[in-house]
Amino acid sequence: MTTTTTRTATQAASLTLDERLALTSLTMDDRLDAAGLAVSVNTARIDTETTVHPQTAIPSPYRTPIAALLHRARIRIQADGWCRTELYDETGAVCPIRAIRLEAASRSQADDAAFLLLETIRRHWQADTIPSWNAQQSNAIPVLLAFGRAAQLANDRGL
């Protein structure tokens, strides 16, 4: 389930140029991810013994493990939906922490990714915890933006 929101002209005008460019970049990433997935689905050989998860079918632009994990978690939120106050809901929507845990190969990898996400949130939104910041958001756009920034930070650090 994908959650979409619309912004009024006054809300969009209050964003800085960098924020508008980041949101446009996320939109373009979504379109490219969907197109890439459509090509993969349309050209894939049907194999009844293998289950392909949509989150893993999209190649990551990052080569480092934590950056790739954060990218996959972002895609999971886009695909399954964003949950604001719970770990997950009955529709399958997930919160940022749950998305990271579901995509991580180990507990330590999940902890590293969550730490970088929290560092990013503290830098840009001055929040104390991921759940409290997540609960303050009115839609998924800042959450997806935070994941993108955290993935880039992890990639820049070689994590």
| Whole-number Å distance between alpha carbons of 89 and 149 | 26
Given this model, what pLDDT does residue 25 score? 80
Given this model, what pLDDT does residue 57 score? 55
Given this model, what pLDDT does residue 47 score? 44
Whose structure tokens read 């999971």? 76
Average pLDDT rounded to a whole number, residues 21-31: 79
Task: Identify whether the C-beta of residue 36 lies closer than 8 Å to the C-beta of residue 59.
Answer: yes
Reduced to 3 states (helix: H, G, I; strand: E, B; else coil), residue 88 is strand
Average pLDDT rounded to a whole number, residues 2-9: 52
| Whole-number Å distance between alpha carbons of 44 and 38 | 10
Q: Report whether pLDDT(24) > 50.
A: yes
pLDDT tens-digit map of 106-134: 999 999 999 999 999 999 998 999 999 99
| Whole-number Å distance between alpha carbons of 120 and 150 | 6
Given this model, what pLDDT does residue 12 score? 54
Average pLDDT rounded to a whole number, residues 29-44: 69
Average pLDDT score over the chain? 83
For residues 11 and 22, the model is more confident at 22
| Whole-number Å distance between alpha carbons of 104 and 157 | 18
pLDDT tens-digit map of 68-100: 999 999 999 999 999 998 999 999 999 999 999
